[in-house]
């Protein structure tokens, strides 16, 4: 996910989105893995099955995750990072190798149920300044041939997740792809149509609200608004429908007005910004699910809701970049350890969200600032801890923003300590830290305890390497100051 380019002329322009084209919609989830506390794939797959989530979207072909999904019956959309597009576009052999290593090697009885391959992720973003767009079509053609060679081209469909900034309008009926993308989008939708693939788009009303003080907050949700958008005889009461039909109009102008559309990403974060909180996230996601599954569609596609909707996201990812905002690490409907953040019914028949089972936590102990010590020299220690661990909840708008200076220090210390798998030396901080067995959580501010049943994948799963990295960083920091 990337933050879309924001317009300021009119709020329908601020949150462009996407439609759908099947009578029955399914709710899936994005499973991202940029986390320092990764659960075992088997634990996450069990969580998906408990909640009867039958569709999952991955951002890359992580072998640990794919092995966990094998035999689960869960339908998979697997992603190819943008950085791989140049190689895949220039070399059929590279496409063959990617398919062989990441797709055909996992299919068959008891294997992974691949349905889509997402070629790139929002490659047409304006912020990329055209860096990837010329690689998309050649990569698609090479990959399509590679799938055909292993007799999978008729079953696994290639798609290209687009950000809503690929199209623009002042009202939905005027929707059109950006002028510089008209030619490539015409070629793309022609390819998708000829191969029976849907159009995949990511839509984020939250980012529109976050990015503009003029955006009407209630228009981002599904409870009605006094700021409805009137477009001829059509009236739009929420950003999702308005953006949905903006894309319909853009596709119609290219001659593909009935193309099926999948919402690749949509959601609401729970922390890290003023408008990011539990109640808002629940209101948005429950409103979205109910709205989509009701099947009423939109003014331009009545009774035709989106084909599939993938919520962003399944789990919090505490190691994601915060460049777009501190909320980036808090999109999960579940916390990093698979615990439901709020009551949500996905309409899958499983009722409210069920927590992950058999999560193995580290012992119930925390690292906090020693109240008997002079903390006036703590700044460098705190900066380093937060440079490595996740302290985004301490910032303005975060759930831990009002716990005081000592609370902030303790939160930073503990985040670092848990990341180090509770290594006692990681709570030293030149004698300013101490280990406690009393939970220091305050109100909505939760001091986490790490998990011990982590994935064996590279990210966040090798405490020894992390410890070496921290030691190097610490020495460098001390030398610098």
Strand partners, 202: 163, 265
Mean pLDDT of 152-164: 97
Mean pLDDT of 133-152: 98
Q: What is the 3-state secondary structure (H, E, C) of the chain?
A: CCCCCCCCCCHHHHCCCCCCCCCCCEEEEEECCCCCCCECHHHHHHHHHHCCCCEEEECCCCHHHHHHHCCCCCEEEEEECHHHHHHHHHCHHHHHHHHHHHHHCCCCCCCCEEEEEEECCCCCCHHHCCCCHHHHHHHHHHHHHHHHHCCCCCCCEEECCEEHHHEECCCHHHCEECHHHHHHHHHHHHHHHHCCCCEEEECCHHHHHHHCCCCCHHHHCCCCCCCCEEECCEEECCHHHHHHHHHHHHHHHCCCCCCCEEEEEECCCCCCECCECHHHHHHHHHHHHHHHHHCCEECCEECCCCCEEEECCCECCCCCCCCCCHHHHCCCCECCCCCECCCCECCCCCCECCCCCCCCECCCCEEEECCCCCCCCCHHHHHHHHHHCCCHHHCCCCCCCCCHHHHHHHHHHHHHHHHCCCCHHHHCCCCCEEEECCCCCECCECCCCCECCECCCCCCCCHHHHHHHHHHHHHHHHHHC
- What share of the chain in percent tops pLDDT 90? 88
Question: Which tokens sit at 151?
Answer: 């007799």
- Tens digit of each residue's pLDDT (9 = 90 or more) over 118-141: 999 999 999 999 999 999 999 999
Rounded CA separation 62/318 (Å):
18
Confidence band, pLDDT 50/70/90 cuts, at residue 49: very high
- Tens digit of each residue's pLDDT (9 = 90 or more) over 440-481: 999 999 999 999 866 544 443 343 334 434 443 443 443 343
- Tens digit of each residue's pLDDT (9 = 90 or more) over 378-398: 999 999 999 999 999 999 999
Confidence band, pLDDT 50/70/90 cuts, at residue 8: very low
- Tens digit of each residue's pLDDT (9 = 90 or more) over 208-223: 999 998 999 999 999 9
Which residues have a Cβ under 8 Å from the Cβ of 256 and sit 6 or more positions away? 189, 190, 193, 199
Strand partners, 370: none
Residue 2: is its pLDDT beyond 70?
A: no
Average pLDDT over all residues of the chain: 91
The confidence score (pLDDT) of residue 403 equals: 97
Residue 16: is its pLDDT beyond 60?
A: no
The confidence score (pLDDT) of residue 12 equals: 43
Topology annotation, domain 11-329: TIM Barrel (3.20.20)
Question: Which tokens sit at 235?
Answer: 């009236």
CA atoms within 13 A on the CB side of 27: 29
Q: What is the pairing mode between strands 199-202 and 162-163?
A: parallel
Q: Are 161 and 265 in contact (CB under 8 A)?
A: yes
The confidence score (pLDDT) of residue 454 equals: 63
Residue 282: is its pLDDT beyond 90?
A: yes
The confidence score (pLDDT) of residue 31 equals: 98
Residue 19: is its pLDDT beyond 90?
A: no
What residues are annotated to the active site? 122, 265
Mean pLDDT of 364-377: 96
Residue 295: is its pLDDT beyond 80?
A: yes
* Residue ranges of the chain assigned to CATH 3.20.20.80: 11-329
The confidence score (pLDDT) of residue 25 equals: 85
Using CA atoms of 395, 399, 402, 407 in order, give the dihedral in degrees to the nearest 10.
Answer: -90
The confidence score (pLDDT) of residue 462 equals: 40
The confidence score (pLDDT) of residue 4 equals: 42
Q: Which of 83-92, 167-176, 336-345, 463-472 has the lowest mean pLDDT?
A: 463-472
Rounded CA separation 290/154 (Å):
33
Residue 369: is its pLDDT beyond 60?
A: yes
Q: Which of 348, 276, 294 is nearest to 47 (CA)?
A: 348
- Tens digit of each residue's pLDDT (9 = 90 or more) over 394-436: 999 999 999 999 999 999 999 999 999 999 999 999 999 999 9
Rounded CA separation 71/56 (Å):
14
């Amino acid at each position: 996910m990337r933050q879309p380019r924001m317009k300021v002329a009119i709020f329908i322009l601020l949150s462009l989105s996407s439609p759908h084209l099947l009578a029955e919609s399914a709710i899936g989830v994005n499973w991202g893995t940029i986390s320092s506390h990764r659960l075992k794939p088997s634990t996450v797959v069990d969580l998906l099955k408990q909640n009867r989530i039958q569709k999952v979207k991955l951002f890359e072909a992580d072998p640990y995750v794919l092995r966990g999904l094998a035999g689960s019956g869960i339908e998979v959309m697997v992603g190819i990072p943008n950085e791989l597009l140049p190689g895949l576009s220039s070399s059929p052999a590279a496409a063959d190798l990617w398919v062989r290593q990441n797709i055909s090697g996992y299919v068959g009885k008891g294997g992974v149920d691949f349905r889509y391959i997402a070629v790139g992720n929002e490659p047409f973003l304006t912020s990329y300044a055209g860096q990837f767009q010329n690689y998309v079509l050649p990569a698609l053609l090479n990959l399509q041939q590679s799938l055909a060679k292993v007799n999978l081209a008729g079953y696994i469909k290639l798609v290209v997740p687009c950000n809503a900034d690929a199209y623009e309008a002042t009202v939905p009926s005027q929707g059109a792809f950006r002028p510089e993308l008209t030619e490539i989008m015409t070629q793309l939708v022609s390819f998708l149509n000829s191969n029976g693939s849907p159009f995949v788009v990511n839509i984020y009303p939250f980012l529109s609200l976050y990015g503009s003080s003029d955006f009407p907050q209630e228009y981002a949700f599904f409870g009605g608004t006094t700021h409805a958008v009137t477009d001829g005889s059509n009236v739009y009461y929420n950003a999702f429908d308005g953006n949905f039909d903006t894309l319909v109009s853009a596709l119609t102008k290219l001659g593909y007005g009935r193309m099926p559309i999948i919402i690749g990403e949509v959601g609401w974060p729970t922390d890290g910004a003023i408008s990011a909180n539990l109640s808002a996230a629940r209101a948005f996601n429950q409103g979205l699910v109910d709205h989509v599954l009701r099947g009423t569609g939109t003014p331009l596609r009545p009774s035709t809701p989106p084909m599939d909707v993938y919520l962003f996201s399944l789990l919090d990812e505490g190691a994601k970049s915060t460049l777009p905002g501190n909320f980036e690490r808090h999109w999960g409907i579940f916390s990093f350890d698979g615990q439901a953040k709020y009551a949500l019914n996905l309409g899958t028949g499983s009722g409210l969200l069920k927590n992950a089972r058999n999560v193995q936590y580290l012992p119930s102990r925390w690292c906090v600032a020693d109240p008997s010590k002079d903390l006036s020299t703590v700044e460098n220690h705190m900066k380093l801890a937060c440079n490595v661990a996740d302290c985004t909840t301490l910032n303005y708008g975060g759930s831990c923003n009002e716990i005081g200076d000592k609370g902030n220090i303790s939160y930073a210390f503990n985040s670092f300590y848990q990341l180090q798998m509770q290594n006692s030396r990681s709570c030293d901080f030149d004698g300013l830290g101490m280990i406690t067995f009393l939970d220091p959580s305050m109100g909505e501010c939760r001091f986490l305890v790490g998990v011990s049943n982590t994935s064996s994948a590279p990210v966040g799963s090798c405490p020894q390497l992390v410890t070496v990295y921290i030691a190097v960083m610490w020495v460098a920091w001390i030398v610098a100051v």
